[in-house]
Structure 1
Amino acid sequence: MKKHTNTVIHVVQHLSPGGLETLAINMLKFASSKSNVLIVSLEGNKQDAIKNWSVLKNISHKLVFMGKPAGLSKKTVLSLYRLFKQVKPDVVHTHHIGPLIYGASAARLAGIKNLVHTEHDAWHLNNPKRRLLQSAILALTHPQVVADADVVKMQLDTKLKYHKVAVIKNGVDCERFSPGNQKNARTQLGLLLSDTIIGSAGRLEEVKGHDLLLRAMPFVDSKVKLVIAGDGTKRQTLIQLAKDLHISDRVYFLGLVDDMPNFYRALDVFCLPSRCEGFPLATLEAQACGIPTVAHDVGGTKETLCPDTGLLSQVGDHQALANNINRQLKHNSDRSPRRFVTINNDIRKMVEAYNALSQEKFA
């Protein structure tokens, strides 16, 4: 006899602002009423996580932190094993290689039969040691692997030759991320109503390529402003680069922004200049708000762009990035990228697909 409530535990490396982490939270928020969903973070503690990311406050009772130390930790595997034995989840769902190693191993030891692992990118498989390690863990634990993009599945097929790989593309909340009043959005963010504004969002780390966007700015119309939402270790480096490029008066670093729909609504164009990506959420969020988007052609980014309005450029070519930004600013299209996102990447459809995958195991 089937249970009326299915318990699902998601295992992530940490709970700090990011696409993978946002996705896990959305899978909790939009889970079926018949599901009890928890999120386990290998690293960190609840108090610090909530302090650094306010969206966690309302779901704090659904969060568990392992406090994993740096390096390999047998104690963390044991702690996860005990948690799984106590909670008895129907599904353990791991995200990325670290949670796969710890979560899948502990789940198998605890007798959990239904394992799902989502691969959010595959660039880490270029490292031979990581590739060998992941192949070994997959061989030992045999989870159902989900690639979040066609390009990720292709790389998994090629580099790992793992036969149980499905594709479920990431989704965003298209009710929350929706078109709105640009004037009101700019007023709330303290931006000038008369400016032409491009924006970018993400962790201020090298992988996100904000330095490439800054280098593109001198080739964009001098009246155009750039606003960046996010924080990270490269913040001061990027501020100094803006000074060196003599564009400080055109660039605004907003730090972490809680109301991201409002951020996107304030823009004329959104830009994702990442050096590496899996299947990014930011491009989907911006387009769901009706904002035309420019991005670097990395990972599954191409799969997230509306084919009628989105523009891609080669990574590292800041001149090409600037050209696409200029093209997007000059292009007055009556087509909105929102329809593309609502059809292909609504979070509710994504959760249904994962539920269906798990239900196949319960049947």
Structure 2
Amino acid sequence: MRIVQIIDSLEAGGAERMAVNYANALVGRIAFSGLVVTRKEGILKKQLDAKVSYLFLQKTKSIDFGAVFRLRKFIKDNKIGFIHAHSSSFFIAVLVKLTFPKVKIIWHDHYGISQDLNARKNISLKIGSLFFAGSIAVNLALKKWAESYLWSSNIVYFSNFIISSFSSDEELPLQGVDHKRIICVANLREQKNHKLLISAANIICKKYPDWTFHLFGKDFEDDYSKEIMNLILNLRLNNNVFFYGTTEHVVSALKQCNIAVLPSLSEGLPLAILEYGRCKMPVVATNVGEVSSVINSGKEGLVVESDNLEQFSNSIIKFIENEEYRNKMGKALFRKIELSFSEQSIIKEYLYWLNSLSNFR
């Protein structure tokens, strides 16, 4: 089998990381694994396995015929059977299929605002779905939406997964006191709900001033980012809340922290939760997307409603006050991730599914 992943950028994001994860995980399992980036390279390029065939298209506009034919040549030269298109990269995949009909397209839906799917309309995606051999949803709500909206069959749900082979050994120095750190890995977007996190920090740091919060994720330097930074300053939390931006050393940061949180308003299946679990972190997360399918609240972590500041802050305090309890939760989540969200189990299902699509034209 010969498969190429396509993604628009390699900046730090869930869809981008899954494109890299699939490309890396398929090395050694199939005859050819490739990755094509259409618009912009980024920090995740460093995590790409050297055995993955790589192409950067340098696409500059919505319909870039030069990029289309460069991609077509790459696919033809490498005898690609499947294009695995992530998120909006489906568009260039369809344009290639119109010029090279024998290649099959798989579309991977990473849409993160899954609480209001009835309002989600995308005519170009709907038309493009006529050319899909199948599509993958990262949660069951997206699968249901695809079944009702897309003109495509063979729609499946596959969990996100993480791979450990590219964790950096380099240590990233963190602010704060050892054994009293709380971490959040989430890009600065409204849906990630950093306001809830900062409000909780304001409550917690008054009671436990030695505890600090460490935020990782891309800063888009927009109005939302300014609002969050101003909130930290206005609440005088600048000695307790630290923002580091994007980094390739997240695992190093996680190993220096004691509690992990994800305060999102909406999610698909967040990779951050899987990363937390792999590092045996006790987690407080909001009940959105597929979070509750990963964390059974009270058994593998604590799950609270996304608009409940009291629940969120009290759950963090529960972990702060009981080290034995938080260690127990972290170990339980690690076992759950290893059992149900491993690279091996997902890739096995994925390849079996692709084999079932062999008759699609």
Shift of 1:323: 2.4
Give the SS at the match of 1:43.
strand
Give the SS at the match of 1:152.
helix
Deviation readout 1:66-124 (Å, 9 max, x if unpaired): 2222445455444433433333301111111x211221341353123432211123637
> Which of 36, 39, 43 pairs up with 2:35?
39
CA contact (8 A) 1:122 1:152 kept: no
- Number of the residue aligned with 1:232: 219
User: Comparing 159-168 with 335-344, which one deviates more in the overlay?
Assistant: 159-168
CA distance in 1, matches of 2:49, 2:227: 34
Q: TM-score, normalised by structure 1?
A: 0.83
- 1:299 and 2:286 correspond: no
> Which of 249, 257, 260 pairs up with 1:267?
257
Q: TM-score, normalised by structure 2?
A: 0.84
- Number of the residue aligned with 2:208: 222
CA contact (8 A) 2:134 2:152 kept: no
Give the SS at the match of 1:248.
coil
Change (3 A) 1:232 1:253: same
Give 1:173's aligned amino acid. I
Give the SS at the match of 1:172.
coil
Give the SS at the match of 1:200.
strand
> Which of 60, 65, 86 pairs up with 1:69?
60
Change (3 A) 1:359 1:56: same
- Number of the residue aligned with 2:85: 94
- Number of the residue aligned with 2:320: 329
CA contact (8 A) 2:12 2:218 kept: no
The correspondence of residues 200-215 of structure 1 with structure 2, limited to 5 A, is: 200-215=184-199
CA distance in 2, matches of 1:108, 1:357: 24
Shift of 1:293: 1.0
CA contact (8 A) 1:272 1:295 kept: yes
CA contact (8 A) 1:122 1:156 kept: no
- 1:359 and 2:341 correspond: no
Give the SS at the match of 2:135.
strand
User: Comparing 237-246 with 77-86, which one deviates more in the overlay?
Assistant: 77-86
- Number of the residue aligned with 2:311: 320
CA distance in 2, matches of 1:84, 1:65: 13
Give the SS at the match of 1:189.
coil
Change (3 A) 1:67 1:275: farther
Once superposed, what is the RMSD of the aligned Cα atoms?
A: 2.9
CA distance in 2, matches of 1:316, 1:123: 16
Give the SS at the match of 1:276.
coil
CA distance in 1, matches of 2:49, 2:166: 17
Unaligned runs of 5+ in 1: 1-5
> Which of 181, 206, 214 pairs up with 1:197?
181
- 1:27 and 2:19 correspond: no
CA contact (8 A) 1:257 1:263 kept: no
The correspondence of residues 275-290 of structure 1 with structure 2, limited to 5 A, is: 275-290=265-280
- Number of the residue aligned with 1:3: none
Give the SS at the match of 1:13.
strand
Give the SS at the match of 1:207.
helix
User: Comparing 163-172 with 323-332, which one deviates more in the overlay?
Assistant: 323-332
Shift of 1:350: 1.6
Deviation readout 1:252-280 (Å, 9 max, x if unpaired): 11222222222212222111122332111
CA distance in 2, matches of 1:70, 1:306: 44
CA distance in 2, matches of 1:64, 1:118: 19
CA contact (8 A) 1:91 1:112 kept: no
Change (3 A) 1:81 1:194: closer
- Number of the residue aligned with 2:46: 55
Shift of 1:145: 1.0
Shift of 1:38: 1.2
Give 2:6's aligned amino acid. V
Shift of 1:344: 0.5
Give 2:234's aligned amino acid. D
